[in-house]
Chain A
């Protein structure tokens, strides 16, 4: 079956703009998590959605938000972009919450100039 699909793969934005990234989980998976990866901070957990509700959130400012739709697809939004938001944004899907492995997409490479 198809893996986790993230779009777009690459994105260039200007400081102050906002951006929306999309994630389509593996069919049948209901949990979607988002991560930010930068060279300095490594992989950091942003938030997790299950059944259209945000269940957990990492230590990121309110400029980072997300949502999940009834078909489990998820979007994350970053408003008022800063140079430091340049990163690889990864989405992971799991069949459920709790004790389960997560399957990652290839990520969206965001560059803020």
Chain B
């Protein structure tokens, strides 16, 4: 699976948009980009995934660059409950060895 690079930590003011970047420069054509988050001591929570088009759901938006080498997860109006570690994962469309979680980005939403 392609590797991903994320900033170790980020802060965001409550009510503002949180933009979490992810670099996946070695991504191949059959790999999807997934985002999960993990609030302390809980199981990871699925957020969104996409292949090459931008995606939006009730939680977030996923913007994937045209060359697919990077993506940005956008939480439009961050709340204190969005404080968590956010993982960007690339995974092939074929059956693969589960999800490989890296170190993620620790997002702190500040009141």
Partner-B contacts on A (CB < 8 A): 4, 33, 35, 42-48, 55-58, 88, 90, 92, 97-99, 101-107
Contact = CB atoms under 8 A, between A and B. Distances in A.
A90 to B, nearest CB: 5
Interface residues of B, number: 21
Contacts of A45: 97-100
Interface string B76-111: 000000000001000001111111111100000000
A99 B42 CA distance: 24
Interface of B: 32, 34, 41-46, 49, 87, 93-103
Contacts of A90: 43-44
A56 B95 CA distance: 9
13 contacts: A35-B99, A43-B87, A43-B99, A46-B98, A48-B98, A56-B96, A58-B97, A88-B41, A92-B43, A98-B93, A105-B43, A106-B42, A106-B43
